[in-house]
Structure 1
Amino acid sequence: MGFVIAVDGPAASGKGTVASRLAALYGYAMLDTGLLYRAVGVRLLGTGGDLDDAAAAEAAAKGLDLAELERAEVRTRAAGEAASRVAVHTGVRAALFDLQRQFTTREPGSVIDGRDIGTVIAPDAPAKLYVTATPEIRAERRWKQLSGQGEAVAYADVLADIHRRDARDSGRDSAPMTQASDAVLLDTSEMTIEQAFDAARRIVETARARSGNLPG
């Protein structure tokens, strides 16, 4: 099994950017697990399904084609809300579990970001980060991202979405969002992208040195 870097945290915390840059730095494969749940939500909505219907959501997850992660729709605000709603279903998480676990076996390593990577998907990952920021900062980041994509949305509505998703993600019965006991907390509230990446790199380098997985 390759060297696994687990990156967890709430929406718009910067974990996706950190994860992608770490993957590029080390030449590791990367999986944004949030896109899996977004794709399931978009798939379900596309067929007129109910996001709160556990059986329908599970069926959508089982039939998921990874090519669907490339669709523009999975990056929208609606997809983010849908992802948070379908992720509460145990059947959906079970359907996607094997796919995510298989990804952790990639050589020479992998970077996986989500909500439950360090606690459920890769509990033995040698490098674990929990990336977060204040709800207000995260809402501002997401609002700018959505506006840049052409979505007309008010900052207040995005902040309400952030609070709602945090409550749903951390309060669900199946694999709730929580910081693993051995994960290093990285608060990016007052950091630039470069500062956040540098801090994350140093955390991972410490873990690589500890495991003997040094740059070759």
Structure 2
Amino acid sequence: MKKITIAIDGYSSCGKSTMAKDLAREIGYIYIDSGAMYRAVTLYCLDNGLFTDSGIREEELRNSLPDIRISFRLNPETQRPVTLLNGEEVEERIRTMEVSSHVSPVAALGFVREALVKQQQEMGRQKGIVMDGRDIGTVVFPDAELKIFVTASADIRARRRYDELKAKGRPASYDEILKNVEERDYIDQNREVGPLRKAEDAILLDNSHMTIAEQKQWLAEQFQKATNG
């Protein structure tokens, strides 16, 4: 069976990463979390005081990019990839609301996207990968053999995020999360570089009312069509 590139794009808190991770594990592909890469850069900015009341210290961030090394490794217990920032595991830290509320302005910076897109394209050169994000099917891998665009209503996505944080014992406010989801949607769709949009040849998946099992089955069917066609 030929190896292909699978691009999964969509709105925040749609469950893209979970879907992509599960699919990659089941078909033996490499999973790359592009969103985690932008979150890692955001965490670097927070840790190094690059956010100000008026925005981001862009010149400092630009100069720091060569020193920001993002990599992934497999957690032997969960068999899921975790994110490393300059060799330090930061998987939990990049999933906090603090990072979530700062990531969109960082991801909107053209020089940040250019640097990370180059890394992502290099990672995917050999095919056999699943990558999810905002512009994977439109910018990073426009020639991907299978493109999925995932959507769900904002209130359902906020509820999922709220339930996820509560399950991990973290403080969470549904109203704050919903506001963050809506703000990220606006920024992601209206940024100048790599805005969130459905590629013309992407298959739309609205998972508002789908179970995890139903999503898995649907994805498996799309994969079979793409590899056997």
Task: String of CA shifts for 1:180-209, please: whole Å, max 9, x gaps.
Answer: 010000111000111111111211221112
Aligned to 1:42: 43
Please report how far the alpha carbon of residue 178 of structure 1 lies from its aligned counterpart in structure 2 after TM superposition: 0.6
Moved over 4 A (4+): none
CA displacement, residues 110-164 of structure 1 (integer Å, 9 cap, x when unaligned): 0000000000000000000001111011000111112223321210110000000
Shift of 1:2: 4.6
Question: Gaps spanning 5+ residues in structure 2: where?
Answer: 71-83
Separation in structure 1 between the aligned mates of residue 171 and residue 185 of structure 2, nearest angstrom: 22
Q: Which residue of 1 aligns with 2:95?
A: 75
In the alignment, what sits opposite 1:56? 60
Matched letter for residue 88 of structure 1: A
CA distance in 2, matches of 1:166, 1:189: 16
Residue 56 of structure 1, CA deviation: 2.9
Q: Is the 8 A contact 1:43 1:60 kept in 2?
A: no
User: Which amino acid in structure 2 is aligned with residue 63 of structure 1?
Assistant: D
Q: What TM-score results when the alignment is normalised by the length of structure 1?
A: 0.91
SS at match of 2:225: helix
1:87 is the counterpart of 2:107: yes
Contact between 1:101 and 1:122, CA under 8 Å: does it hold in 2?
yes
Q: How does 1:45-194 map to 2 (within 5 A)?
A: 45-50=46-51, 52-66=56-70, 67-68=84-85, 70-71=89-90, 72-107=92-127, 109-194=128-213
Contact 1:61 1:96 (C-alpha < 8 Å) held by counterparts: no
> What whole-Å deviation, never above 9, does each CA across 1:157-177 have from its counterpart, x for those lacking one?
100000000000110000001
CA distance in 2, matches of 1:106, 1:152: 41
Q: Which has the higher strand share?
A: 2
Q: Is the contact between residue 100 and residue 121 of structure 1 (CA under 8 Å) also seen in structure 2?
A: yes
Relative distance call for 1:150 and 1:199 in structure 2 (3 A) is same
Residue 22 of structure 1: CA displacement? Answer: 1.0
Give the fraction of aligned pairs with identical amino acids, expressed as a percent: 35
User: How far apart, in 2, do the equivalents of 1:138 and 1:167 lie?
Assistant: 15
Supply the AA of the counterpart residue of 1:193: I
Hey, which of these two has a bigger chunk of helix by percent? 1
Any gaps of 5 or more consecutive residues in structure 1? 211-216
Contact 2:3 2:227 in 1 (8 A): no
Task: Return closer, same or farther for 1:131/1:173 CA change in 2, 3 Å cut-off.
Answer: same
* Counterpart position of 1:15: 16
